[in-house]
Structure 1
Amino acid sequence: MRAMSEQEQRQFWHGVRLQGAGTLVSRILGMLRDVATASLLGLASGGVMDAFAIAFRGPDLIRRLLGEGAFTASFIPALAARWNESEEAGWQLVQSIVQRVSLQFGGLVLVSWLLCAGLLWTENHLSVGLIALFLPYLWFILLAAQLAATLQSLGHFTAPAWAPLMVNLLWLATAWWIAPAMTSNNATQAILLATAILIGGICQFCLQGWMVFRLGYRWQPLSPETAKALHREVRRIHWSTMPTLWGLSITHVNTFLDTAMAWLLAPSGATAALYFAERLFQFPVGLIGIALGSALLPLLSRHAARKDWKALRDDLTQALQLAFVVGMPASAGLACLAEPVTIALFQHGEFRLDDALRMAGVVRGYAFGVMIFALLPVLIRGRYALGDYRGPALWGITTVLLNIIVNGIVYSLEGGAAGMAIVTSIAAVCLCLGLLKRFTMGRVSLRWKSLGISFFKALLCSGGMAISLILFQTFAANVLYQPLQTLTSTTARLLTLALFLLVGIVSYSLLAIIFRQYEWLWLFGRLRKRDETNLP
């Protein structure tokens, strides 16, 4: 008997596919926008890209923590309980939380603007000016995140999945066409990019606000008793956000710390290299880890509310198995193809060959942790569905401290940005092991045998794929080099990368069939519905 009812199963997979498709398109556009930004601003020319990266990473970190993570992870279970009471109770909680976020972060933006005004005349004036533009973007994007959580809790995944495309589309258009057409000054171009991002955030908020309005939300005055009860509920959600904040933020905090330490300590270009490398490895992570985590949390919360621990265990195990079959080949492939990927995608315009090779070392350092980064959103949301906020928070604090200390040691040993990336991957492994250990204690365990079999099969398939890629690299260098020389440089690089990707996908798929890796077949819809008890 399946863990999910037929309706829940359809809703879950519909959510995963919509979230995954929207995330895929958003990540592709995000990759294109980063390629365009790299071509426009370069890596180390004048320090403009470093200034843009450090200015954007701060607000972007808060967006990821409070928008994609902590607030929504705490908000969705509470909202699900309210919907079970009545529709009116649900909308009342939505109204209360949106009002509170508006006031709190509106005040934060105003105070931060005052601080920025006092720093505009320092040597870091470009970074400060860019931060001032990104602050209102943060306000709109956090409000949009609360609306997205509302839509997800109601089973509507389309707008939350596709609304972020607005930011990427405006950013891409500005980097590719508008900014180069308007000015050749890199600093001015960076300001134009920041303005486009702000406008995209406003559009994202408006779209999701319109969807919530269509579903029936109307502002309603609240009685003093209701307002007081909602205030207590919102305060409880905010307090529960504090440990949640740590749990879901660890990867983002660690990569932000990499960027901040590089900006303070490392030579020009290190901050930009870490920024672009982090964007690159987040591409596969977002496709499965974030998509699964976002669609899975409402379902797991319902299982926990009904105390259906078997269903929770089975669905969480299946999600982890899917994370294995995407994360591990992505990790192996990115490690093997770090140079071809960075050269093909980023060596354009102001981004030179030596910049691409410098970035490739950082990409390889992050690549070793891609599978772990994909597992973490699923594991953490699984713990939250069980009401365990303390475990992820404690393990998160430990890994952040580990990352800071070891990064300092690596820098003192001249490990550079690539060394910082490797340390962050190791810290993620420690966090993942700690969370898995939490599932050996308490009322809900995982299907360890099934997970072990899935992990071993993914390891075999990924190892075989890596060998295929290495052999094909030798073949391409010796046999395809001369034919590719007849093509333009950009065309040859992209064609070579496409061949590498094709070899990787085909080799992994063949090995998945040989080793009967059912999760890979699930992912592409090649397996009919099966009784989970018949699977390993």
Structure 2
Amino acid sequence: MAATKLASLAKSSAVMTAGTLVSRILGFVKAMLLATAIGVTVGGAADAFDIANKVPNNLYMLLAGGVLNAVLVPQIVRATRRTDGGRDFTNRLLTLTVTLLFAVTVVATLCAPLLVRLYSTSAWSPEQTALAVAFAYWCLPQIFFYGLYTMLGQVLNAKSSFGPYMWAPVLNNVVSIAGLLVFIAVFGTGQQGEHAVGTWDAGKIALLAGSATLGVMCQALVLIWPLKRIGFTYRPTFGFRGFGLSTAGRVAGWTFAAVLVGQLGYIVTSQVASTASSTTGEPSASNAAYSLAYLMFMLPHSLVAVSLATALFTSLSTYAADDDVDSVRSSLALGTRLVGLVNVFATVAFIALAGPAAMVIGGGSQEQARSIAPVIVTMVIGLVPFSANYLLQRVFYAYEDARTPFWIQVPQVVLTAAGVLAAGFLLPKPLIVAGIGLAMSCGYLLACFLSAVLLRRRIGHLGTGQILLAHAKFAVAGGLSCAAGFGLLRWAGPEAWDGRLPALLTVAWIGLAMLGLYLAVCWVLRVSELRAALETVRRVLKR
């Protein structure tokens, strides 16, 4: 039974994982080029652009992202059982969403100065704040296109067309990379502070921030073609009362409240991280370094947890609508174990190779890479509970329950914010963002525990014994692999990762050695998820 479900999941998520992998690789290339263009760890233009480019992401997540992800798929799955296949309901839901997205984007763009001040710190100079505001005017229209991308993608997912949603960000990264290459060719690099705050004019700002927004626009609009291929035709339909949208509105309201609480916590994180920005030119991990570390943290989560959760969400919504609790429970348990298998290795690999990995993405000197490495380590500690909680939340949403995730979010954010503030007050400036990463990991662990306890009350047992046993085996294999990674890196010496190319080669060969040992130990420990996965791969290759 498990092998059959695994084969089904593999088939559904393979294309998504491939698209996500290509997108993430290009995302790392984009991050490397951005670091080359304007730097990473030294305060100034890098932090100004980082804040401006994160504001639309954060506002989108606050006002639409979590709401769309929680609402659209379950609602569309249930609507397909209507006589018209849910077409009228879907058109009205999309019309309402597009209207709200457009209004929010216009208001947010007009409020760019206020938003920049909200996410930055008063310690910034007036010139740095003005530069961030100029970037924000170019970046804030991304809110609408991020929302459009998510909305169209979730319609595709509800129709079991998963690939385009995961491949569309590839186009975004290609466009952004092209913009960065043109920027470097025209204006040069910023590794030695050439692009100080006072050197930015309208042309430089428009090229850097405009190409970032153009990429998001292309990411959204490219989904129109696959929607037409599956026969979906959207017609704007107004009139939102009396058509069954009340449940969607209730779920959206609770989801919005949960994301609002999360964003309030992030404002604290952003402001505390801004205080770590160096004003003397010394390497110091601040907002830009936080974003780079978070990019690495999200790589394994996006490759495995998001792909599996996307493939599972449609079936989970169907099982929940049919009140098939056994199928919900078994699908969740299998998904959690598979994600854990990958994430435990990713955790130990990033811990052992944090320095070289930071060098590959951030460039610069080893001193700069070492200032980023602790952020990567403390952040990645929370990867396993973060992804597990992501899957648990999808079960609540499949049951149209967004209230419980909200009440889980509240203590998580309180704990994280308290840890972030403590890091800002108690730690020296170079370690503040590393302390933020540790606070985030503690928050993820608390949220995962609360989600598991509350979900168990709803659907009975979760297969917790099997999940914990599997993760114990993963931990043994991961511990041995991590020790081997540290030993190999010490044997290679610092000169083995002095520069981006040597660091990339070092990460590659040590990472492969760690992976081989990890898989070998898992095989000896009879990890059933690994054996089932290898059997699935063998069958695919045989066909």
**Normalised by the size of structure 2, how large is the TM-score?**
0.86
Q: Which amino acid aligns with 1:371?
A: V
Query: Which residue number in structure 2 is paired with residue 209 of structure 1?
Result: 224
Matches within 5 A, 1:359-508: 359-414=372-427, 415-477=431-493, 489-508=499-518
Please give the secondary structure, in 2, of the residue aligned with 1:440: helix
Where does residue 161 of structure 1 map in the other structure?
Answer: 166
Paired residue for 1:183?
Answer: 187
Identity of aligned residues (%): 22
Does 2:212 correspond to 1:197? yes
- Which amino acid is the alignment partner of residue 93 of structure 1? F
C-alpha contact 2:55 2:115 (8 A) present in aligned 1: no
Per-residue deviation, 1:442: 2.7
Residues 427-466 of structure 1, C-alpha deviations (whole Å, 9 max, x = no match): 1111111111113313332112211221111111111111
Equivalent residue of 2:222, what SS? helix
Counting only pairs closer than 5 Å after superposition, residues 62-101 of structure 1 correspond to structure 2 as 62-64=59-61, 69-86=66-83, 88-101=84-97
Shift of 1:157: 1.0
Contact 1:254 1:424 (8 Å CA) reproduced: no
Aligned position for 1:533 = none
What amino acid sits opposite 1:134 in the alignment? C
Any conservation in 2 of the 1:327–1:372 contact (CA below 8 Å)? no
- Secondary structure of 1:164's match? helix
Contact 1:73/1:244 (<8 A) preserved:
yes
The SS at the match of 1:163 is helix
- Using the TM superposition, name which of 30-39 and 93-102 deviates more: 93-102
- Matched residues in 1 for 2:332 and 2:476: separation? 23
Would the aligned equivalents of 2:70 and 2:255 in 1 still touch at CA under 8 Å?
A: yes
- Matches of 1:67 and 1:114, distance apart in 2: 18
Query: Greater CA deviation, 162-171 or 107-116?
Result: 107-116
| Larger displacement relative to structure 2 (407-416 or 145-154) | 407-416
Distance 1:141 1:11, change over 3 A: farther
Deviates more, 1:257-266 or 1:386-395: 257-266
Q: Distance in 2 between matches of 1:257 and 1:181?
A: 37
Partner of 1:139: 144
Name the CA shift for 1:335/1:527 in 2 (closer, same or farther; >3 Å). same
Structure 2 Cα separation of the partners of residues 169 and 427 of structure 1: 34
Instruction: State whether structure 2 residue 98 is matched by structure 1 residue 102.
Output: yes
Structure 2: gaps spanning 5 or more residues? 117-124, 189-193, 280-284
1:56 maps to what in 2?
53
Q: For residues 93 and 491 of structure 1, do their structure 2 counterparts lie closer, same or farther at Cα, with a shift above 3 Å needed?
A: same
The offset of 1:356, in angstroms, is 1.6
Task: Verify the 8 A CA contact 1:12 1:299 in the aligned structure 2.
Answer: no
Residue 442 of structure 1: SS of its match in structure 2? helix
The one of 108, 111, 116 aligned to 2:112: 116
CA gap of 1:512–1:220, structure 2 versus 1, over 3 A, is: same
Secondary structure of the structure 1 residue equivalent to 2:458 = coil
> 2: CA distance between counterparts of 1:74 and 1:362?
34
- Taking structure 1 as reference, are residues 53 and 344 closer, same or farther at Cα in structure 2, changes over 3 Å only? same
Deviates more, 1:338-347 or 1:515-524: 515-524
**1:172 corresponds to which of 177, 184, 203:** 177
* Alignment correspondent of 1:534: none
The letter of the residue matching 1:151 is L
Q: Secondary structure at the match of 1:54?
A: helix
For residues 130 and 82 of structure 2, what CA distance do their matches in structure 1 show?
Answer: 52
Which residue among 502, 520, 523 is the counterpart of 1:513?
523
What is the alpha-carbon distance in structure 1 between the residues aligned to residue 328 and residue 299 of structure 2?
28
Instruction: Provide the rounded CA distance (Å) in 1 between the counterparts of 2:356 and 2:519.
Output: 22
Answer yes or no: is the 8 Å Cα contact 2:95–2:238 preserved in 1. no
8 Å Cα contact 1:469-1:504 kept in structure 2? yes
What SS does the corresponding residue of 2:473 show, helix, strand or coil?
helix
Q: Residues of 2 paired with 1:255 and 1:524: CA distance?
A: 40
Which secondary structure state, in structure 1, belongs to the residue aligned with residue 294 of structure 2? Answer: helix
**Counterpart amino acid of 1:510?**
A
Preserved CA contact (<8 Å) 1:362 1:421: yes
Deviations 1:271-322 (A, max 9, x none): 1111111111111111112112221111111111111111111110000001
The 1:519/1:221 distance shift into structure 2, 3 A limit, reads closer
* CA deviation map 1:179-226 (0-9, x unaligned): 0122247345454232112212222222112222332233447697xx
Judged with a 3 Å threshold, the aligned counterparts in structure 2 of structure 1 residues 75 and 506 are, in CA distance, closer, same or farther, namely: same
Deviates more, 1:35-44 or 1:92-101: 92-101
CA–CA separation in structure 1 for the residues paired with 2:347 and 2:103 = 41
- 2:40–2:288 Cα contact (<8 Å) kept: yes
Structure 1 unmatched runs, 5+: 530-536
Kindly state the Cα deviation for residue 514 of structure 1 after the two structures are TM-superposed.
Answer: 0.7
User: How far, CA to CA, are the matches of 2:342 and 2:314 in structure 1?
Assistant: 22
Give the paired residue count. Answer: 511
* Partner residue in 1 for 2:365: 352
The equivalent of 1:532 in structure 2 is: none
Q: Distance in 2 between matches of 1:28 and 1:422?
A: 26
For 1:511 and 1:67, locate their aligned partners in 2 and report how far apart those are by CA, in whole Å.
43
**Equivalent in the alignment of 1:244:** 255
The structure-2 alpha-carbon separation of the partners of 1:183 and 1:34, relative to structure 1 and needing over 3 Å to count, comes to: same
Deviation at 1:72, TM superposition (A): 2.1
Offset, 1:524:
4.6
**1:298 — aligned with what?**
314
> Counterpart of 1:287?
303
Whole-angstrom distance in 2 between the partners of 1:132 and 1:474:
47
Q: Is the 8 A contact 1:248 1:377 kept in 2?
A: no
Change over 3 Å in CA distance of 1:492–1:260 after alignment to 2: same
CA separation of 1:85 and 1:9: change in aligned 2, threshold 3 A? farther
Query: In 2, Cα distance between the equivalents of 1:279 and 1:146?
Result: 23
Corresponding residue number in structure 2 for 1:307: 323
Offset, 1:42:
0.7
Q: Is the 8 A contact 2:41 2:288 kept in 1?
A: yes
TM-score (norm 1): 0.87
State the one-letter code of the partner of 1:494. Answer: L
